[in-house]
Structure 1
Amino acid sequence: MNFMPKIPLADWISSATDWVQETFSWLFEPLREDFGDFIEIFAEDWLMGIPPWLFILIVGVIAFVISKNVGLTAFSVIGLWFIYNQELWSDLMNTFTLVIFASLISVIIGVPFGILMAKNKVAERILTPVLDFMQTMPAFVYLIPAVAFFSIGMVPGVFSSVVFATPPTVRFTNLGIRQVSKELIEASDSFGTTGTQKLFKVQLPMARATIMAGINQTVMLALSMVVIASMIGAKGLGQTVITGLQRAEVGTGFVAGLGIVILAIIIDRFTQSISSQKTQ
């Protein structure tokens, strides 16, 4: 027996969403149209305009330069060739585009907020539960406001990926800055450095490895949203996985999923190699 009337939380959220849609329609419409067009141009004209063999060659050269690892270079070349051989190249480019934009936006948002948390205890107390909420909320839930604000397509896919993938960069940036030794901070203070100089010349360089670990996690989380984002019209390998699921085509879905795994391994090893180079 319910002794209290039901709290109309769902109605409140729906009303708030409608208000946000109407109030900020001037922002959402250009983002949906202009940013959506830019993403399409980036994927279809720029990336797909590069011959696959040249793209694979460039990735192989970059892999060898940043890692000096023949195994990673060979895996990158063979893995990308396999995706091309399976006629999934256009899907790969769309997936790569989604991951690039979601990761860049997440890092651009995450690093400043991480710095703010490290510098301000009040901001840390406010942002910590927000980050907890963002990380514990099921990823599928983020599709609802994404569709409400941006309709369907790549833009809501990027939006939902950003919300899901930003917290690691914020947390690791905060952690990295706070872990800088007090002796270094005191030494910089003794030389009369300003707060900005201390941040950019001492704290951020010393926290670089930790921040890069957070960025690596952000990229991986953005990639993990590929299949989920395809449910709201985001093009790419995730869409092929969903198609295989809907049509019970096990082979099609498995091959597309294998393509996502290959891309994930390549990106993960690239970011780790970049991080290890920065810390040497």
Structure 2
Amino acid sequence: MEFLTEFPSLGRSDLSAFKQGIDEGFRAFSRQYGEALEAFFNPLLKFLVWFEKVLINTPWPIVILVIAIITWLGARSWKITIGAVLSLLLIGFMGMWEDTMATLAMITVATLVCVALGIPVGILMSRSNRAQSIVTPILDVMQTIPSFVYLIPVVMLLGIGKVPGLIAVCIYAIPPIVRLTNLGIRLVDKDVMEAADAFGASAREKLFGVQIPLALPNIFAGVNQTIMMALSMVVIASMIGVKGLGTQVLRAIGNQYLALGLMNGLAIVALAIIFDRVSQTYGKRLQAYRETGHD
């Protein structure tokens, strides 16, 4: 009350009118551009649905074999590869295969979108202090604002379904890849850049031939963190129609099914560990390659 007395221009009626204006403006924007936005995201929806169907309809031995090969190529560790295979076998045995594949499809597509958008933005930030000063506060807001808050405009614009869930996951998960791409490129040794200048390298050649290769360990650390944050959004995204392990966790919360919640929660943990170990190990291998000059 003291605040309202000290600042009479911010009375309850004015504040209410201000909020109402924002709501009405956003509703008008949603009615005018909602269909255009749905059409814009339709190719992404088709790809996500197709990828999910591929994972679910492909025989499970083939899926596990492919994941084992990818895990081996990334981690070069039999322990991690065998652990990934055993985790997937246990998930299938517990009857969570389809939900896990749906979650895997969502996380994979979200990670690809975050990498495709985040790395160019990180490169732009590394090449311009002005761009960094503009983008950094936006990233701060994206990381700190409660996820339920930005679910509201996404649902108002696109309704309930996979695409709104994917957008919500990407908003929450993209900041690490942007920040660490920027950091990795800025940390490239100045002596290396001076040597590239001495050899007459163009700006493009320096970026793709020197800076990005040397920044790859940091970039992969950003990918690792993006995957972890995307997985942490699985349960929240299930609230707006994203099928997968998060749906079952939400169902367990609503009905007090302890066993169901624990099993699906552990399946999410298993996916997180697989992604984390593979990306971390691959990042360390890149770091070793950078330091020694050989794999």
Query: 1:276 offset after TM fit, Å?
Result: 2.8
Partner in structure 2 of residue 165 of structure 1:
173
Per-residue CA deviations over 1:107-128 (Å, capped at 9, x if unaligned) read 1111111111111111111111
| 1:221-262 superposed Cα distances (whole Å, 9 cap, x missing partner) | 111100000011100000000011111111011100010000
- Count of residue pairs the alignment pairs up: 279
* Cα separation, 1, equivalents of 2:39 and 2:32: 14
Partner-residue secondary structure (3-state), 2:174:
helix
- Is 2:205 the partner of 1:197? yes
Return the alpha-carbon distance in structure 1 between the equivalents of residues 87 and 35 of structure 2: 43
Maintained 8 Å contact 1:66/1:277: no
Name the CA distance, whole Å, in 1 between partners of 2:201 and 2:67: 41
Contact 1:216 1:272 (C-alpha < 8 Å) held by counterparts: yes
Partner Cα separation in structure 2 for residue 26 and residue 108 of structure 1: 24
Please tell me the residue identity of whatever aligns with 1:196. R
From the superposition, tell whether residues 210 and 32 of structure 1 become closer, same or farther in structure 2 (CA, over 3 Å). Answer: closer
2:57 aligned counterpart, secondary structure: coil
* Counterpart position of 1:178: 186
TM-score of the superposed pair, with normalisation by structure 2: 0.89
Q: Could you say what secondary structure the match of 1:193 adopts? A: coil
Larger CA Rg, structure 1 vs 2: 2
Residue type of the alignment partner of 2:61: W
Report Cα offsets for 1:175-230 as digits up to 9, x if no partner. 11111111111111122211111111111111111111011101111111000000
User: Are the equivalent residues in 2 in contact too, given 1:230–1:239 (CA < 8 A)?
Assistant: yes
Match of residue 120, structure 2, among 108, 112, 117: 112
Q: Which moved more, 1:61-70 or 1:249-258?
A: 61-70
The CA RMSD over aligned residues, in Å, is 1.7
Partner secondary structure for residue 234 of structure 1: coil
Q: Which runs of 5+ in 2 are unaligned?
A: 290-295
- Paired position in structure 2 for 1:60: 68
CA distance in 2, matches of 1:243, 1:187: 59
Residue 27 of structure 1 deviates from its aligned partner by: 2.9
| Among 50, 58, 70, the residue aligned to 1:41 | 50
With normalisation by structure 1, the TM-score equals 0.94
Q: State the Cα distance separating 1:23 from its structure 2 match.
A: 4.0
Separation in 2, partners of 1:26, 1:48: 30
1:272 Cα deviation (Å)? 1.6
* 159, 162, 166: which one aligns with 1:154: 162
Match in the other structure for 1:219:
227
Equivalent residue, structure 1, for 2:37: 28
> Which segment drifts farther, 270-279 or 256-265?
270-279
Change (3 A) 1:187 1:146: same
In the alignment, the residues of structure 2 paired with residue 149 and residue 166 of structure 1 have an alpha-carbon distance, to the nearest angstrom, of 20
Identity of aligned residues (%): 39
Q: How big is the shift at 1:17?
A: 2.3
Give the CA deviation at 1:34.
Answer: 4.7
**Among residues 108, 115, 120, which one is paired with 1:100 in the alignment?**
108
**For residue 248 of structure 2, what is the amino acid of its counterpart?**
T
Using the TM superposition, give the Cα deviation of residue 12 of structure 1 relative to its aligned residue in structure 2, in angstroms: 4.2
User: Contact conserved, 1:32 with 1:150, CA < 8 A, in 2?
Assistant: no
